[in-house]
Amino acid sequence: MMSLASYLIISLILFVVGLMVMISRKNIVAILLGIELILNAAALNFVAYSRYVTNNLDGHIFSLFIIVIAAAEAAVGLAIVIRFFQIKETIHVDEATQLRN
């Protein structure tokens, strides 16, 4: 029941679902939701390997850094989204075609 394989399968499902969210949604915030799912899948893998294979806590440290980076990414990404909305008055991802202004 509780083995490395089951954790890996859950992480696989999370990753695939996150990828599908990123592809199928047109709202930029929804794409950020997909990125969060993918990052969580990676972090879950690190902790699972750390318990079942390596027996030290480096995996925990790595997933802590992943959480930190996810938080920073969400903050900057949402700031960009809000700025983009101020300029274009939409957050459809296909409207983001210019690098200036």
Binding to other proteins (CB under 8 A) within 65-84 occurs at 65, 67-76, 78-83
Q: Does 96 sit near other proteins (CB under 8 A)? A: no
Contacting other proteins within 4-33 (CB under 8 A): 4-10, 13-14, 17-18, 20-21, 23-27, 29-30, 32-33
For the chain, counts of helices (H) and of strands (E): 3, 0
Residue 2 Ramachandran class (φ > 0 left, ψ -120 to 50 alpha, else beta): beta
Does residue number 45 form part of the binding site for other proteins (CB under 8 A)? no
Taking the C-alpha atoms of residue 11 and residue 60, their distance in angstroms, rounded to an integer, is: 16
Shortest Å, Cβ 98 to other proteins? 16
